[in-house]
């Protein structure tokens, strides 16, 4: 959290408003710990920017000051990527909206400040045979390989984010119904099907590996455990994914979302309705999901160009 000095306690003091805004996100919005941490870091940068301009009261901040913050993030000594700058601006705009609602300022000076243009990137998905190769990269019968295989199978079978996968508790998995409860962004929950290979990998882990890992800890409801018997972290899950890729010899670019992208792309390529995929991914808007349709169309276009006799005419 942001430290508040005595000079900031006055109504409208920037640091005090930041503290109040973060408390609002925690209590009333129920924002996740990761979101709060990111917002706190971004708003700390904003405080430093305003301090350098001699601005201690939010009411004294103008649109040019907010625009200057965005420019500084992109061109400073350690420039941020456009996506990171856009996230920082989102935190700043949220702060100013909050201040306006609370009657601390008369106008929202951040409302019209636009984020930097983001490069348009299509999600990178592996072909099915490379996914199979990746899943086979978890070799061995020890607790860690069995857990990692269960993790990767779950990611590809459900389209879960890594944070959602490590958040699964034992009771969230319904083996009889072949479903799992996932907790997504903003605390939203969804139930998604789980394929038989993933269920088999999870069962192997639960029977042959989890008891040994759990004995090292103090007891937790988490399905996936680390070497100390506590819930597996996102960072450790990401390392497991990258390690499996190295062992399997998959030299394609791997990211924490790789198997999620593969899940969506392969479903759409198999004829799944985009709105069904939207529900499975937990996207609020179908337009977010539709980016995957471009991947499929590009793949079809390439096949057409190579194989269709009239494609070269």
| Cα angle, residue 239 at apex, residues 155 and 129 outer, rounded to 5° | 50
- Kindly list the strands in the beta sheet with 173-174, ordered across the sheet, starting from the edge strand earlier in the chain: 173-174, 179-183, 189-193
Q: Which residues are catalytic?
A: 161, 185, 257, 260, 283, 292
Task: Write the DSSP symbol of residue 76.
Answer: S
User: How many other C-beta atoms lie within 10 A of the C-beta of residue 112?
Assistant: 10
Place of tokens 């508040």: 4
Phi-psi sector, 179: left (phi>0), alpha (psi -120 to 50), beta? beta
Q: Dihedral of the CA atoms 13, 19, 21, 25 (nearest 10)?
A: 180
């Amino acid at each position: 959290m942001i430290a508040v000095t005595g000079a900031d306690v006055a109504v409208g003091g920037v640091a005090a408003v930041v503290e109040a805004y973060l408390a609002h996100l925690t209590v009333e919005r129920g924002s996740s710990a990761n979101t709060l941490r990111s917002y706190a870091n971004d708003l700390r940068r904003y405080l430093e920017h305003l301090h350098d301009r001699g601005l201690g009261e939010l009411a004294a901040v103008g649109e040019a000051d907010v625009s200057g913050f965005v420019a500084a993030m992109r061109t400073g000594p350690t420039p941020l990527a456009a996506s990171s700058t856009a996230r920082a601006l989102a935190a700043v705009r949220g702060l100013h909206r909050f201040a306006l609602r609370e009657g601390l300022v008369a106008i929202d000076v951040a409302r019209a400040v636009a984020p930097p243009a983001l490069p348009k990137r299509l999600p990178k998905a592996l072909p099915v045979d490379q996914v199979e190769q990746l899943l086979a990269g978890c070799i061995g019968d020890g607790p860690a390989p069995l857990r990692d295989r269960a993790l990767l199978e779950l990611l590809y079978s459900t389209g879960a984010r890594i944070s959602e996968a490590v958040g699964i508790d034992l009771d969230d998995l319904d083996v009889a119904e072949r479903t799992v409860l996932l907790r997504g962004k903003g605390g939203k929950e969804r139930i998604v099907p789980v394929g038989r290979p993933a269920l088999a990998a999870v069962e192997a882990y639960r029977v042959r590996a989890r008891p040994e890992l759990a004995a090292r800890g103090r007891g937790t409801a988490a399905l996936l455990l680390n070497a100390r018997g506590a819930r597996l972290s996102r960072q450790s899950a990401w390392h497991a994914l990258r390690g499996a890729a190295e062992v399997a010899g998959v030299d394609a670019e791997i990211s924490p979302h790789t198997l999620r992208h593969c899940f969506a792309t392969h479903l759409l390529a198999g004829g799944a309705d985009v709105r069904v995929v939207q529900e499975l991914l937990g996207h609020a808007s179908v337009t977010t999901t539709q980016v995957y349709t471009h991947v499929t169309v590009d793949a079809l276009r390439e096949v057409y160009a190579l194989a269709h006799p009239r494609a070269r005419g």
